[in-house]
Amino acid sequence: MFYVQRDPGGVLVRVEATSFAEATGQLPADDHEIQAWFANEVVEKSLNQLKLSDMEMIRVLDDLIQVLTSKGILNVTDLPAAAQAKLMDRNQARETLGGLSDLINDDETRLI
């Protein structure tokens, strides 16, 4: 059994396994509203996880493209013009930071 809180329109706004002060009712675990609530929560958590990893993946892809081009497997000119421009901008920014490489650690989470 789950304790639920509904808004004035009757829509679920909170679901908990234990009782809480604002609970306005209870629903069994197999109720379609409970199933939908947790399905949406799982999707939302997955989307948030992807958003959080986007910046890390950009760095992975950037490094991969650098390796492929340095080995002659990929030419930057093989990519669309917009992608070439973005890569050139990133390369220039990274070169500018080259002198500061001692300030940035490998995971780039903090300075020094």
**How many domains does the structure of the chain reveal?**
1
Whether 82 maps to a domain, the answer reads no
Whether 90 maps to a domain, the answer reads no
Whether 7 maps to a domain, the answer reads yes
Residue span of the structural domain in which 34 resides: 2-52
- Provide, rounded to the nearest whole percent, the portion of the chain with pLDDT above 90: 43
Whether 103 maps to a domain, the answer reads no
Three-state SS at 4: strand
Phi then psi for residue 15, to 5 deg, are -135, 130
Whether 41 maps to a domain, the answer reads yes
- In the prediction, which pLDDT does 101 show? 53
- In the prediction, which pLDDT does 47 show? 78
Q: Give this prediction's pTM.
A: 0.47
User: What would the pLDDT profile of 3-48 be if each residue is shown by its tens digit?
Assistant: 999 999 998 888 889 999 999 999 999 999 998 988 888 778 887 8
User: What would the pLDDT profile of 96-111 be if each residue is shown by its tens digit?
Assistant: 887 555 555 555 554 4
Strands of the sheet containing 25-27, edge to edge, are 12-16, 2-6, 25-27
